Amino acid sequence: MEIWIASTNRGKVAEFESIFEPLTKSGWKVKTPQDLDTYYAPEENGASFADNARLKARSLRAVAPAGVWVVADDSGLAVEGLNGLPGVHSARYAGPKASDGENRAKLIKMMALKPMPNRNAAFVCALHVFDPQGVEHRFEARCEGEIGKTEAGKNGFGYDALFIPHHPENTGKKTMAEIAPELKNKLSHRGQAARQLLALLLK
């Protein structure tokens, strides 16, 4: 059996590959749009993470081989002191082609504009899945935490160097980019959502 991940974000794909290891160990193949000539990422103009995940899943479902599973991830960071921003705009916060570094710099700047910003935040991950029969499944998970004042750590991607997860195992108040990738997958929004899907796939 194959599962196709509708993402061009290498950081996300690496995390899925690690979380899906129980599948590959039992003979599944994990594929991405790079295995096709024809995948076009859709415009992500949905109002919610779930809407955007559905757009991406449908776009890949249209061009992937028949009889496979397809999963799309839409995710981002919702900061309380910024009324939930960058939210669904997380990938493009500093502009349409912004790099991860530019997005983090904008987040630091926006937090600094407020005298005593509420630094509580959550990473959110919505997964939209097509099973081989074309039946749709949805999963969503959050990882609560806070925004650090400065960047720390080199692991992960995106906003990881600014996000401190609130979790009993994160004893040193480290950012997502400082903790081991295995711990990130254990407590992250994506790890939690992907394990809900994994339970369905291993049924």
Whether 100 is catalytic: no
Residue type, 159: Y
**Smallest separation, CB 161 to ligand ITT (Å):** 9
Q: Determine, following the binding rule CB under 6 A, whether residue 160 of this chain makes contact with ligand ITT.
A: yes
Q: Determine, following the binding rule CB under 6 A, whether residue 190 of this chain makes contact with ligand ITT.
A: yes
Size of the site for ligand ITT (CB under 6 A): 25
Q: Determine, following the binding rule CB under 6 A, whether residue 32 of this chain makes contact with ligand ITT.
A: no
**Smallest separation, CB 203 to ligand ITT (Å):** 26
Question: What strands lie across the sheet with 136-147, from one edge to the other?
Answer: 29-31, 2-5, 69-79, 120-130, 136-147, 163-165
In this structure, is the dihedral angle defined by the CA atoms of residues 145, 146, 147 and 148, taken in order, positive or negative? negative
Token pair for 172: 């040193």
Q: Determine, following the binding rule CB under 6 A, whether residue 165 of this chain makes contact with ligand ITT.
A: no
Residue type, 160: D
Q: Determine, following the binding rule CB under 6 A, whether residue 194 of this chain makes contact with ligand ITT.
A: no
- 95 Cβ partners below 8 Å, 6+ apart? 102
C-beta of 11 vs 117, nearer to ligand ITT = 11
End-to-end CA distance of the chain: 13
* Contact map string, positions 88 to 107, toward ligand ITT, x by CB under 6 A: --xx--------x--x----
- 195 Cβ partners below 8 Å, 6+ apart? 19
Contacts with ligand ITT by CB under 6 A lie at 7-9, 12, 41, 44, 56, 73-77, 90-91, 100, 103, 123, 156-160, 176, 188, 190
Q: Cite the active site residues.
A: 74
